[in-house]
Amino acid sequence: MSDVKKVVLAYSGGLDTSVIVKWLQETYSCEVVTFTADIGQGEEVEPARTKAEALGVKEIYIEDLREEFVRDYVYPMFRANTIYEGEYLLGTSIARPLIARRLIEIANETGADAISHGATGKGNDQVRFELGAYALKPGVKVIAPWREWDLTSREKLMNYCEQHDIPVDFSKSKKKSPYSMDANLLHISYEGGILEDPWAEAEEDMWRWSVSPEAAPDTPTYVELTYEKGDIVALDGKAMKPHEVLETLNKLGGANGIGRLDIVENRYVGMKSRGCYETPGGTIMLKGHRAIESITLDREEAHLKDELMPKYAKVIYNGYWWSPERRMLQAAIDETQKNVSGVVRIKLYKGSASVVGRKSEQSLFDESIATFEDDAGAYDQKDAEGFIKLNALRLRIAAGKGRQQD
């Protein structure tokens, strides 16, 4: 007899999680609560209610979390200019702590004994969901069906559906998408299929959010990003909520062929994985944020922040959003953003996002000092001689001892 009476499942309404509902009911003889989050995946989430009801689910949570997702997770991450392994903008990683938090909150609200998810035993998401869950509710039981059952292929999943009268939107005769995809407001990812060969070029018809750079308009698009304390608050002078900003930038970027990425990354579980990503809005946001920081941050402040960023990125990628080290890093990052306000103008053209202007009342750029024209004595060039000699002192001493560089 299972000690699990009720479990909250992160439920998409797709094949895998529909099978999981029935599997949980049978294996654990428990009541299942489903939780479906709208974080901007671009698909209707309300049909999940009908599917869950058909499976006998009585407590169904469907929530629009788009604004919270961008405001409380994406924006804080972008204040750090966060990229993993030099390229990946962490679109999947940053969505997991929000989902984990709501799973735990719903478990508390409904008196559930456990939570469950559909992440496989090979990926990072199982780690992210469960690290978040344990950080927020130490004694919670986590059920990960992919680590327990023997339904290891699509054919077995479909047979299970037939045996248990599970309603699904496709049959064996319907062609399966060759890719495993995950989408939210920040990105859409593609894995599997021909992408498992790192030498094979992704097919053009795979991409869903962007045109190819070759097919992008011949006329550039300009957009102005207004920042307050590191966050975008308006586009082209029009005030917008965080999720509206990202939605708009996704459309502008996608229409101009911006944001495609093809990488091989190192998963936390140890294997390398090839994936393709579309992050049009995020690509523009990263360009814009670095540009406004370039005129508002002190040099050493900016350089130290850049040194912290890879650690911060790794913390998020590996699933430690709710850890003390992430909170510590976030506090330091947020401290740097007090004066990061102003406007950045970006040119979007055939796959590139180029900064073409930046201004701020908090700018540390002093034209009277930086000018190549007459600076009226604002900077005494003779001072540079002593500066250079002092900084060369240790090099001169070493060279005087015969320690020549090879």
CATH of domain 6-67+91-163: 3.40.50.620
For 347-398, write each residue's pLDDT tens digit: 999 999 999 999 999 999 998 888 888 888 888 999 999 999 999 999 999 9
pLDDT in tens, the chain (406 residues): 578 999 999 999 888 999 999 999 999 999 999 999 999 998 889 889 999 999 999 999 999 999 999 999 999 999 999 999 999 999 999 999 999 999 999 999 999 999 999 999 999 999 999 999 999 999 999 999 999 999 988 789 899 999 998 877 654 444 566 888 999 999 999 999 999 999 999 999 999 999 999 999 999 999 999 999 999 999 999 999 999 999 999 999 999 999 999 999 999 999 999 999 999 999 999 999 999 999 999 999 999 999 999 999 999 999 999 999 999 999 999 999 999 999 999 999 999 999 999 999 999 999 888 888 888 888 899 999 999 999 999 999 999 998 877 6
For 18-30, write each residue's pLDDT tens digit: 999 999 999 999 9
Q: What is the dihedral angle through the alpha carbons of 359, 361, 367, 368, rounded to the nearest 10 degrees?
A: 170
Hey, how many other C-beta atoms are within 10 angstroms of the C-beta on 365?
Answer: 12
| Backbone φ, ψ for residue 7 (5° rounding) | -135, 140
Fold of 180-297+339-359: Argininosuccinate synthetase, chain A, domain 2 (3.90.1260)
- The single residue of 93, 125, 210, 358 carrying the catalytic annotation is 125
For residue 175, what pLDDT is reported?
Answer: 55
* CA-based nearest residue to 279, from 46, 84, 43, 71: 84
- The single residue of 96, 101, 260, 358 carrying the catalytic annotation is 96
For residue 171, what pLDDT is reported?
Answer: 47
* Domain spans in the chain, listed from the N-terminal domain onward: 6-67+91-163, 180-297+339-359
Active site residue 236: no
- The single residue of 16, 182, 262, 375 carrying the catalytic annotation is 16
Domains 6-67+91-163 and 180-297+339-359 share a fold: no
For residue 186, what pLDDT is reported?
Answer: 98
For residue 169, what pLDDT is reported?
Answer: 65
- The single residue of 49, 180, 267, 334 carrying the catalytic annotation is 180
Both structure tokens of 139: 């004694």
For residue 172, what pLDDT is reported?
Answer: 47
Active site residue 180: yes
